Amino acid sequence: MQPNQFNVDAANKLKIVSLVSVGKHPQSGRMRRADQDSRAVELGLKLTGDNHSGESLVVLHAGDPGEPNLRSYAGMGLKSVRVLQLDPAADAILPLGQHLQQCGADIVLTGVRAESGESSGMVPYQLAEKLGWPIVPRVADIVSVKGGVAEVLQALPRGQRRSVMVKLPFIASVDSAAPEARQSAFGPASRALMDIEVVSASVDDVRQAWEEAAARKRPKRLKVVKAKTAAERFKAATAKSQGDGGKVMKNESAAEQAQAIFDLLKEEGVLR
């Protein structure tokens, strides 16, 4: 971890809540701290500064407080983990929304999608809709918070980043492109306090009707040749994949040729 280079004018006044869930390793299937959620905690730790850990950063989980893997978030250097205790089959949105409203959070960080359960990634959106806050999806970093406005770096496909300005309070889902989470230490994890609050929530009836099974392997799409004659099939099997014959510039001067390339690059929008 680099020394705190984060640009904060009121870091100790900033209240950050990281929502965490219990993750599942994609290969072994073992329960673990979720990858994106731990990155959200890491980002929260960076925002509050390491000195304030446990005071302005709240790590919040809705579900079973007895889950041992919750403690591995605390092992990242937190004194406590707050848990809203509710039935595993219950809908967590309502109690979470109420809690966030009460505790006066400035920034709420979540993962993009959970590694267990429905994993629809809808929690941040539903919370944002309920609270009327803006949501910034797929955040790679929060660069600065100044005067109640945060500058956020969004992760785009192909390694690109987009800068977005957003007013506090807001909800951000943290992408896998965010800085990797620090290791979890076992000792502090087992000493951490589980701050339990029992809440009531309605049971998620819709989900009761669903059937869940281990993921089937998806069939790979075959290249189907819809040829009617043997000659067409033969051509499809042997022909090289070629474009439909592009423009060829042969006799122009180098300057004209370069201009044509440049125009195409600009048209495609790769020159920024």
Partner 1 sequence: MSAHNSQDLLRRDPRAEWIARNRLHPLHGSVVSADMGEVRGPTGLLRKNPHKVGFIGPNGIKRIDRLKGNAAGAGKGRRSSAAQDIQLPLHQVENPDFYVVVVPDMVGGRLTAHDKDVIGQAHKLITGAEGNGAVLAVCFGQSKEEHFDTAGVDRLLLLEDECYEGYRPEQRLAALVQVESAYKPQFWLFPDSVNGGSDLGSRLAARIGERPAVQAWLVDSDSTVCRGAGGTTDITRSTPRLLMLAEECADPIDETRHEALPVELDSVPAVIAQLQDRGQVAVDPNAISLAEAEFILSAGNGIHNWDQFHSAAAVLGATEGASRVAVDDGFMPRFRQVGATGTWVTARVYLAVGISGAIQHMQGIGQCDKVIAINTDAGCDMVKRAALSVIGDSEAILGELIKLAEDFRAQQSAGGDRDAA
The amino acid present at 206, given as its one-letter code, is V
Say how many residues touch partner 1, by CB under 8 A: 80
* Residue of the chain from 74, 92, 166, 201 that contacts partner 1 (CB under 8 A): 166
* Residue of the chain from 67, 151, 195, 197 that contacts partner 1 (CB under 8 A): 151
* Distance from C-alpha of 80 to C-alpha of 74, rounded to nearest angstrom: 6
Min separation Cβ 165 and partner 1, Å:
4
- Chain positions 82 to 121 lying near partner 1, rule: CB under 8 A, are 113-121
* Residue of the chain from 158, 187, 205, 237 that contacts partner 1 (CB under 8 A): 158
> Would you count residue 157 as binding partner 1 (CB under 8 A)?
yes
**Among the listed residues 66, 61, 58, 68, the one whose alpha carbon sits nearest the alpha carbon of residue 14:** 58
Interface segment toward partner 1; rule CB under 8 A; list 49-57, 62-70, 81-89, 159-167: 159-167
* Distance from C-alpha of 198 to C-alpha of 135, rounded to nearest angstrom: 27
* Residue of the chain from 41, 45, 135, 174 that contacts partner 1 (CB under 8 A): 135
> Would you count residue 205 as binding partner 1 (CB under 8 A)?
no
* Distance from C-alpha of 179 to C-alpha of 35, rounded to nearest angstrom: 11
> Would you count residue 231 as binding partner 1 (CB under 8 A)?
yes
> Would you count residue 241 as binding partner 1 (CB under 8 A)?
yes
**Among the listed residues 200, 206, 147, 153, the one whose alpha carbon sits nearest the alpha carbon of residue 178:** 153
* Distance from C-alpha of 91 to C-alpha of 105, rounded to nearest angstrom: 21
> Would you count residue 237 as binding partner 1 (CB under 8 A)?
no
* Residue of the chain from 54, 134, 179, 188 that contacts partner 1 (CB under 8 A): 134
**Among the listed residues 60, 70, 94, 12, the one whose alpha carbon sits nearest the alpha carbon of residue 197:** 60
Min separation Cβ 46 and partner 1, Å:
18
* Distance from C-alpha of 247 to C-alpha of 101, rounded to nearest angstrom: 60
* Distance from C-alpha of 143 to C-alpha of 151, rounded to nearest angstrom: 5
> Would you count residue 248 as binding partner 1 (CB under 8 A)?
yes
Closer residue to partner 1 (CB): 139 or 192: 139
